[in-house]
A and B are shown apart, each in its own frame.
Chain A
Amino acid sequence: MHVVHKPSTGKRITLALFIALILFVASNFVDEYRIFQGAQVAAYLVGIISIVLLTGFSGQITLGQGAFMAVGAYSAAIVVQEFALPIWLTFFIAVIAAALFGAIIGISAGRLSGPYLAGATLAFAVGIPALANAIPILGGEQGLSFDIGFAPGKYADTVSPYKWLFWICALCAIIAVVIAVNLTSSGMGREWRAVRAHETAAALSGINPARSKVLAFTVSSGFAGLAGVSFSATVGLVSPSGFTLSLSFLLLTGAILGGISHISGALGGAFIIVIIPTIFEAWTEEASLGVATYLPGIIVSALLLLSIALAPEGPSEALHKLRHRGHRKP
């Protein structure tokens, strides 16, 4: 074992605070649309982290992360509507509710693997949002309002709603990143990876694979719940059509493109899925609405396919390996 400097949680938090400061300053210099997109990136980032944890670390594929996001978002919107709780509290409730749900699903689906798990999460992804139409309290297809409102007190007039939105989403994202990095470098993260790499070997070394998988489902869903509530904050609304199969696929795509085995990859992934459509909108004029609508999807999908073929663990991992190889040369 090398004796290396291991960053402490304290240092990570310092770094996070520093980044938060940069984002805070930056948000005062940019146009509102960019701020809005920044908030979207932050929301997607958390969603992708939830996939990286489950699929990248614990090795369980999920095609239904959108459903856990929906659980979180609906829980938040309901407590606001029914009990008029303060907004900040709803973020915690969203996380807890989604995590509980994840535990329940994990207990049943965690026993499955490969295509069976993919199938179960897929059915889950289309099943959950549709329930909103069956249960009156969930507001049907039109959904529930979820408004994070304005900055408090005297800042309400000076801070634009977009900035306020961005700050909240970015704060959630930073907290999520710090927690995720800490988790994955902890014993729990190592357990997950051990189970992913070799279940039997992990079991022999005293890890309970079933427990580890359910735990991964629970934690991952908690993150998804946070993503769901952030995502709903950006649109001010929780509705079934906000949590479609395409959202689940998009997040998985982002996770793969960014690099499924690292938390840091999630940010790259979130950028790609927000920015690529924007780039195309910029140079496809409205005369070719079809091109602007479909080309980004084709490009993102093609990138996904290429990345699976050429760098199955994502570009960041491929680069990492490349660098590593360089180091080893005498």
Chain B
Amino acid sequence: MNLLNTLIAGVSIGAIYSLIAFALILVWRSTRVVNFAQAGQAAFSTYVGLTIEKAVGNYWLALIGAILAGVIVGAFVEVVVVRFIVKRATSAATATVAPVIAMLGLLGIFQGVMGLIWGGEYQPYPTAFAREGMSIAGNQIPFSQFDLFVLLTVVVAMSISAVIFQRTSLGLSMRAAAFAPEVTRLSGIRVSRIRTLGWAFAGGAGGLAGVLVAPTTFIAPNSFDLLLVFGFTAAVIGGLDSLIGGVLGGLALGIGLSVVTGYLGGSYTFMTAFVLLIVILLVRPQGILGARGARRA
């Protein structure tokens, strides 16, 4: 029973890691940039949601507001910062590290601005669902209506994305732009616009992840840093190039960490992520579902 509880808890937090991994992979595929500012973008969007929630007291309106804020911020970051940086920084000897560092700078700006606007205090984020564990056959399990909502939302969001990517011409353009930007450009598709769209989409996913995780972790300017670490770990485990790999990576990481936390204690959680990452990278350098040879970025 205890193991089952641990697994269930792992799946619901793993779903959120999957969302973040999804956002990071989307951006990586389109721009070859690991968006470390995603933690800041997600927190910013969540604060927007919280502000709406406080003003009108409607959870759903706040959720939509946070996703929209994520979309807008994502597009803004791509258009205003990323284009400029990527263009300028790729010629230098530090080309491989420059985008990473630029994104860290952006993260710092986001966190500072959030601190100025909303303060550094840990604030709670409300839920529309009960947090009490549900009962199954008279046994209370640590899986609440809220956890169910998180899981279902992630599944729905992923399904919608899958349909968009696999079944629409927009999705086709996005995939094409990611793997062969020159060819795509030649075939008359505005690659830069597609790229912005990818960032916007990722931003929205980040906003959603923020609203889903905030009731559990509270919200503060830097409270999503760890979420980013785990989301990124999940993305790398999955292979960085594969959206499905990232989702699976997120679930695997969520379950793995939950088992370690449950049986060994919370202090080992973070080291486990590192060990898991290293072991997977050494055993299978391209990640669970990554393309071979993608490792050398």
Contacts and interface: CB of A to CB of B under 8 A. Distances in A.
Say which size band chain B's interface belongs to: 35 or more
Nearest to B272: A127
B7 interface: no
Interface in A98-139: 108-109, 111-116, 118-120, 122-124, 126-128, 130-134
A298 B85 contact: no
Given A114-B296, A290-B119, A126 B270 contact: yes
Given A127-B274, A305-B81, A312 B233 contact: no
Interface string A230-274: 000000000000000110010011001000110000000000000
Contacts of B100: 61, 63, 115, 118
A300 B109 CA distance: 8
Interface in B77-113: 81, 84-85, 88-89, 91-98, 100-102, 104-109, 111-113
A201 interface: no
A222 interface: no
A294 B271 contact: no
A127 B233 CA distance: 12
B161 to A, nearest CB: 22
B267 A133 contact: yes
B112 A305 contact: no
Contacts of A123: 229, 233, 270, 273-274, 277
The secondary-structure label for the interface of chain B is: helix
A51 B15 CA distance: 35
A279 interface: no
Contact of A55 (B84, B97, B273): B97
A300 B108 CA distance: 8
Contacts of A119: 34, 232-233, 235-236, 277
B297 A116 contact: yes
Contact of A197 (B81, B93, B113, B277): B93
Contacts of B113: 294, 298
A189 interface: no
B44 to A, nearest CB: 13
Interface in B155-178: none
B270 A112 contact: no
A308 interface: yes
Interface string A186-219: 0000000000110000000000000000000000
Contacts of A302: 105, 109
B270 A253 contact: no
Interface string B217-234: 000011001100100110
Nearest to A132: B267
Contacts of B225: 245
B271 A131 contact: yes
Contacts of B104: 63, 249, 252-253, 301, 304
Nearest to B235: A119
B82 to A, nearest CB: 11
A301 B105 contact: yes
B265 interface: yes
Interface in B257-293: 264-275, 277-278, 281-282, 285
Contacts of B76: none
A1 interface: no
A295 interface: yes
A130 B240 CA distance: 26
A134 B266 CA distance: 8
Nearest to A133: B267
A89 interface: no
B109 A305 contact: yes
A304 B108 CA distance: 9
Contacts of B269: 130
Contacts of A116: 236, 240, 281, 295, 297
Contacts of A108: 278, 282
A109 B88 CA distance: 28
Nearest to B237: A119
Interface in A54-87: 55-56, 59, 61, 63
A293 B107 contact: no
Nearest to A310: B88
Given A130-B271, A290-B120, A312 B92 contact: yes
The 6 A-B pairs with the shortest beta carbon distances in the complex, nearest first, are A301-B108, A114-B297, A134-B267, A298-B112, A312-B92, A304-B105
7 contacts: A116-B297, A120-B236, A123-B270, A126-B270, A127-B273, A133-B266, A134-B267
Interface of B: 28, 34, 81, 84-85, 88-89, 91-98, 100-102, 104-109, 111-113, 115-116, 119-120, 221-222, 225-226, 229, 232-233, 235-236, 240, 264-275, 277-278, 281-282, 285, 295-297
Given A63-B104, A301-B104, 17 more contacts: A59-B97, A108-B282, A119-B34, A119-B277, A122-B229, A123-B277, A126-B274, A127-B274, A130-B267, A130-B268, A253-B101, A294-B120, A300-B108, A302-B105, A305-B81, A308-B101, A312-B92
